[in-house]
Structure 1
Amino acid sequence: MLHSAVKVVLTSALVLGFATTAANAETRITYKSAKAGSSYYQMGVEVAEAIKKGTDGNIIMTIEESQGSVQNVMEVRARGGDYVFTTPPALVDAAQKGTGAFEGKGNPKFAEIRALFPIPSLAMHFVMSKASGTEDFAGMEGKTILLGKGSFGATEGEKYLQLFGLDGKVKIADAELSNAVDALKNGQIDGFVTAGSWPAPNVVEVAASTEVNILSLTPEQEAETKRTPLTIPAGTYAGQDKDILTTSLPVVAYATAAMDDETAYQLTKTFWEQKAAMSGSAPWWKGVDKGLLANITGKLHPGAVRYYKEVGFELSDGQM
C-alpha cells in the first residue's frame, strides 16, 4: 500500500511538473492599439489570432482597448517586456525628443522603444460624388465637404484644403464623419474626407452604392503635403479604374528593449508568415509589404532584425 501511495505521489509530481513546464512555455503578450470597434482594434484581433495560430498557441496575445497612439507610447513608462503597441513612427520620434505631445513628459524608457513590423497605414481619401462633377482638387471649389471633427483625417483634410488654395472656397458640413456615407448618398454633401487603411470600409460602402470619384493628388501636391506617399491600386474600390496617388500616416507595431530577442523574433517571423492568410480574410493587410519598413525611422528590435536579415529584407543602418 505504501509503495502504491509513493507511486501516486511521484506520478502526481511528474504530471504537475509537465504542466508547469507547459505553462512556462506559453508566452503572454499584451497588444494595445485603438478604441474597440475601430478598424485598428480589429486589426489587433486579427494579429492576435494569426500569432496564436502561427506559434501553435505558444504566444498568446491579449488585446487591450486604447484611447489613442499617444497613450500607447506613454504607457511604455510602466510596462515591461510583454508589451506590444501600435503608433506612428513620428510619435516615437517625438517621445524620444520630448517634443509635441511629449513636451515636458520625457522618460528614459522612451529611448528603449523598438519596432517590430509595419501594419496598414492611414491613407487619406478624398471621396466626391460623381454627380458633383469633381475630378480634381480645383473642382472642389463651391462644393459641400464633410471633414468630421477631431480625427487625424479631419485635421489633415483641413490642412490640404489650405495648401491647395481652397481655404474659404468650400462649404464645410457640420456633421460627424459617421454620417458621411448616408449624407453623400442623399445628396446632402458633395464629398467627404476620411483617413483609414485601404480599402477603407466607409469608402467601400459608398462606392458600392453610389458613383464616386476618389481624388488623386498630383506629384507636386503630394510633395507639398510633406507626408508619406501611398498608392491605392486600381480596382480597390468599385468604379476605380486608375491608381490613386495619396498620402499616408505610417503605423508600426512596437515593443521595447525589455522584450527578449526570441519573443521579438517569433512575433515578427509569425506576422510575416501569416500575412498572406490575413490578407485573404481582411484585404487591408494587402497594403503591407516590405517596402513599408522604410517608414520606420527609429531602431528595430534585435529579434526583428534577426528575422529581416534571414529573409533578406533591406534595412538602414539607423534601424539596427
Structure 2
Amino acid sequence: MKFMKMIAATATAVALIAPAAWAETRVTYKSAKTGSSYYQMGVEIAEAMKAGTNGDVIVTVEESQGSVQNVMEVRARGGDYVFTTPPALVGLAQGGKAMFEGKGDPAFDEIRALFPIPSLTMHFVMSADSGVESFADLEGKTILLGSGTFGATEGEKYLKLFGLEGKVTIADVELSNAVAALKNGQIDGFVTAGSYPAPNVIEAAASADVKVLSLTDEQVAETKRTRLVIPAGTYAGQDADIVTTSLPVAAFTTTKMDDETAYLLTKTFWERQEALGNAAAWWNAVTPDMLSNITSAIHPGAVKYYKEVGVALSDAHM
C-alpha cells in the first residue's frame, strides 16, 4: 500500500508538468510470436501506455521469434526500441556466452532494464484420475511435454533431475490439444510454462478435475530456477499454494533511449499496473520485489523513478 500511495503522489506531481515536458513519443515493443501470451501482454502494455499518457506515448507491438532475437536486434535498433527477455540472457550476451558465443557486440553492454513483467511459470498439470500427488507418482504415467517450447525443455530437464527419465511415457500430442487429451484420458497430464494464471491451465481446471504439482524446496534448488508460489484459489479447485519454478522476464531498452522517455515508460507502467491487473490477472503477480531478478543495470531514467517512489535498488542496477 505504501508503494502504491507513493506512486499516486508521484503521478499527481508529474501530471502537472507532463504536457510541457513531453511531446508524442513513439516506441517499438518487441516481445514474442503473435498469439502467445507475451504478445498479448505487449498489446496490453501498448494500451496502458496510451491511456496513462493521454496518447503522448504510442507503442507499436512487433512480433518476435524469441528472446535471443530480441537481444540480438539491439545492434541495429535505435533509442525507441523496447524488448522483453529473461534477465539471464542479457548476462549471457554481455559475457559472450552460450548462444552468444562468437557473436559478442559492444551494443550488448548498453542494454538497460526498465521494469519486470510476468514470469514464465512452470505448471505440471495432472488429472485427478491419474492419482498423481507428487513427482514420485509420475512413474508409469503418460505426460504431454509439447515441443520447441521453454516448458517442453524445462519439463524434460525436470524428469531427468528427479530420476524419471525413461520411466514416463511422453505423449506425441500437440500442446494446443493438451486439455482435450487430458479430458478424454489420452494423457495423464501435461507440462506448460506461461505467466500464471495460464489460460490452458484455467481451461483444464474449469473443465476437469486436475492437480497442479508442487515442488519441494530441494527440487526447486535442483532446477536452479527462481522459486515462485502460485496462491491458493488461482485455479478452480486449487485449495493450497503451489510451489513451482519460474524464469523471470523483464522489459529492456538501451542507453540510446533518452532518460525522459525511460522515466515516462517506467512511471506509466507502474501507475497503470492495477488497471492492467484488473484486465488480465497475470499482471497482479508483478511487484517491485521482482526487480531483484534483474541482475544488470537499470536505465538511469527508470532509476530516477524508482528512487522517487522509494524502491530499493542494488549496486548492480546502477
Q: Same fold (TM over 0.5)?
A: yes
Matches within 5 A, 1:111-260: 111-260=109-258
Q: CA deviation at 1:158?
A: 0.5
CA distance in 1, matches of 2:280, 2:307: 28
CA distance in 2, matches of 1:215, 1:151: 20
Matched AA of 1:311: V
CA distance in 2, matches of 1:176, 1:287: 28
Matched AA of 2:55: G
1:154-187 superposed Cα distances (whole Å, 9 cap, x missing partner): 0100000011111111100012111111000110
Aligned to 1:59: 57
Aligned to 1:87: 85
CA distance in 2, matches of 1:272, 1:247: 25
Unmatched 5+ residue regions in structure 1?
A: 1-20
CA distance in 2, matches of 1:126, 1:25: 47
Q: CA deviation at 1:314?
A: 1.3
CA distance in 1, matches of 2:255, 2:183: 49
CA distance in 1, matches of 2:72, 2:221: 31
TM-score using structure 1 length: 0.92
Residue 298 (structure 1) aligned with residue 303 (structure 2): no
CA distance in 2, matches of 1:225, 1:251: 17
Q: CA deviation at 1:212?
A: 0.4
CA distance in 2, matches of 1:213, 1:31: 36
CA distance in 1, matches of 2:137, 2:309: 46
Which protein is bigger by CA-based radius of gyration?
Answer: 1
CA distance in 2, matches of 1:238, 1:226: 29
Unmatched 5+ residue regions in structure 2?
A: 1-18
Aligned to 2:99: 101
Matched AA of 1:274: R
Q: CA deviation at 1:100?
A: 1.1
CA distance in 2, matches of 1:47, 1:129: 35
Question: Runs ≥4 in structure 1, deviation > 2 angstroms?
Answer: none
Q: CA RMSD in A?
A: 1.1
TM-score using structure 2 length: 0.93
Q: CA deviation at 1:25?
A: 1.5
Aligned to 2:68: 70
CA distance in 2, matches of 1:219, 1:106: 36
Aligned to 2:10: none
Counterpart secondary structure, 2:271: helix
Residue in structure 1 matching 2:287, options 278, 286, 289 = 289
Residue 41 (structure 1) aligned with residue 33 (structure 2): no
Aligned residues: 299
CA distance in 2, matches of 1:222, 1:101: 25
Aligned to 1:314: 312
